Amino acid sequence: MTNEGTALDGMGSERRSHTCGSIDRSMVDQEVVVAGWVHRRRDHGGVIFVDLRDRSGVVQVVFRPETSTRAHERAGGLRSEWVIMARGVVEARSSDTVNSRMKTGEIEINVHEIRILNSATPPPFAIEEDAGADEAVRLRHRIHDLRRPPLQRSLTIRHELSRAMRAVLIDQGFIEIETPMLARATPEGARDFLVPSRLQAGSFYALPQSPQIMKQLLMVAGFERYFQIARCFRDEDQRADRQLEFTQVDLEMSFVGVEDVLEVLEIIMVESAREAVGVELQRPFPQMSYADAMARYGCDRPDTRILLELVDMTEIFAGSEFKSFRGVVDNGGIVKCLPVHNAEEISRSEIDRLEKFVRKELGAKGLGWVRVDAEGEWRSPIAKFLSDEERAAITERSGAGPGSLLFFQADEFERANAILSRLRIDLGEKLGRTDGREWDALFVVDFPLFEKDEKGQLGYVHQPFVAPLEEDIPLLETEPEKVRGTHYDVIMNGVELGSGSLRNHRVDIQRRILGLMGYTSEEAEKSFGFMLEALEVGAPPHGGFAFGFDRMVMVLAKADSLRDVVAFPKTQRGQDLLMEAPSPVDSEQLEELSIRVRVPKPE
């Protein structure tokens, strides 16, 4: 491979005059200088055509021997992804050669001078919409992947959304304040990334899981409206919508109630989506309680464009002779049903496939089902276990009739809902049971404040500083598991874009909540002493929110994964395949940090 970045044909000090995508028919007969990557090269009987690509688009440049013998000769050696600069005259294409799929498809550039700026090794996959390559290969060769149109578009949308959200927040009176990356480890739900201190041997900083505590301290300090586009870090298992490091649009407001915060969130989303991608979201966003979302959709981030809904059947089976369902109810579980009407196109083999899917992929014990045939007869392996009264009650609640197919899950609350929620999405999309809307934005509110762990100990659902609803504060002393929080989530197309809440600004309520979660006074002071102290110096009522910025870009860009909207992402195992991180470090570095590494033996 050679590098021919020397001056050729008098173009040594030349600069490009136009980007590839900016040239149009109005420039015919003008001389231009363009530069970029060789996207494609075609030799048509002595005339060489090159699709030249830069960030703005692609333009066709043509090398004819009668225009310049030297330029034509050099073009004969061009290969994919070589970097070149070319000078030529813009010409209109003939009507039969216009390419309507290209923005520049009405013109081409007749080249008379070329400079080869750099050669390149062959790309490992096509620099096209669909690379046709495994994701691991694309991540290992991320530089090539980033040249592809989908990545170029998604990262441009990311830039536009960042610019738009920052402008809207400033317009709403928020002040941008940076908070530290090196902070104290606090129990916030996920594992911290720890950073050893060289100066305080044996002590560690923690990278922030979120700026939660610091933004509350800024409210106590009197800034009233804060935001930042913050980097956050959580050492947790990876999936398509999660990364070890991610970006939040973080904000906090003083002297507000829930509706005040939700109004600001609507403004931010509507104006940012409009400015970044031209999407018009309708205000006001619908609001749905957590209890309603779980009852109707089986999850707290429903895509309400899908018209299928779940129905609770627990009460019907509380005294049933059908032991499989009755036993689950007796043990505190639930029975839920997903009715699918006019479901004749779902064959028995498809039902068997769905049953196998929920067993192997979702951890279900099975999949109960009932098909109502054209004569109204029930066809099902479980039909014989159901009494006439139970059939009548199921029919009434589900609205079943000829052609209906009912799917059942009997299990503990979370699993039964999760399985039917997933089935609802899959069947709704496959059968086209949607309302046709492209965008579905809504708020989910009134989450429970606490949840019990396997040992029956109360823990927080979201984070330990969520304020309870005012009317539920007395329940902290009598029935804390029934206390609702002031928590709210923003959902878009079934994806949780972010969450927030009002915070405890009264220290007595904050201490009581920590006590209910099992913290002794000493443990509370050790973990949250600086926060409790801040609440005692005159903390205003305050609340806030954190947008999962990567997720919002993913939804607006219609990408399949966060890895498609992050420049240099990690794999599901937390590895950067391009930079080969994480990696071992020298023993001298470890000794300087007073760290000894013990590598576990392979199993």
**What residues in the chain have per-residue pLDDT under 70?**
1-13, 187-189, 238, 240
The CATH number given to whatever domain includes residue 340 is 3.30.1360.30
Shared domain check, 251 and 195: yes
How many residues make up the chain in this entry? 603
Domain presence at residue 128 = no
Domain presence at residue 455 = no
Shared domain check, 224 and 96: no
Mind giving me the DSSP string for 500-568? EEEB---HHHHHHHHHHTT--HHHHHHHHHHHHHHHTTTPPPEEEEEEEHHHHHHHHTT-SSGGGSSSS
Predicted local confidence at residue 10, as pLDDT: 54
The CATH number given to whatever domain includes residue 153 is 3.30.930.10
Q: Structural domain of residue 350, as residue ranges? A: 306-434
Give the Cα separation of 71 and 111 in Å (integer): 7
Interacting residues of 389 by C-beta distance below 8 A, sequence separation 6+: none
Interacting residues of 579 by C-beta distance below 8 A, sequence separation 6+: 568
Give the Cα separation of 193 and 208 in Å (integer): 8
Domain presence at residue 335 = yes
Give the Cα separation of 9 and 33 in Å (integer): 13
The last residue of one of the domains, among 434, 455, 472, is 434
Task: Look at the chain and report how many structural domains it folds into.
Answer: 3
| Residue recorded with tokens 């998604």 | 154
Give burial (CB, 10 Å; 0-12/13-18/19+) of 471: exposed
Shared domain check, 231 and 110: no
Strand order in the sheet with 311-312: 311-312, 334-340, 405-411, 368-372, 378-379
Nearest to 260 by CA among 212, 231, 224, 213: 224
Domain presence at residue 601 = no
The CATH number given to whatever domain includes residue 24 is 2.40.50.140
Q: Record the tokens describing residue 43, joined without a space.
A: 């030799």
Shared domain check, 381 and 265: no
Q: Record the tokens describing residue 481, joined without a space.
A: 């598991």
Shared domain check, 314 and 416: yes
468 bridge partner residues: 485
Domain presence at residue 573 = yes
Nearest to 423 by CA among 433, 412, 413: 433
Note the pLDDT tens digit of each residue in 392-414: 999 999 999 999 999 999 999 99
How close are the terminal C-alpha atoms of the chain, in Å?
45
Give the Cα separation of 539 and 254 in Å (integer): 9
Shared domain check, 312 and 235: no
Q: Record the tokens describing residue 168, joined without a space.
A: 């809207």
Shared domain check, 270 and 141: yes
Interacting residues of 327 by C-beta distance below 8 A, sequence separation 6+: none
Shared domain check, 382 and 356: yes
Predicted local confidence at residue 194, as pLDDT: 93
Question: Considering all CA atoms of the chain, what is the largest pairwise distance in Å, rounded to the nearest integer?
Answer: 93
Predicted TM-score (pTM) of this structure: 0.89
Shared domain check, 161 and 261: yes
From its phi and psi, is residue 490 left (phi > 0), alpha (psi between -120 and 50) or beta?
beta
Note the pLDDT tens digit of each residue in 26-44: 999 999 999 999 999 999 8
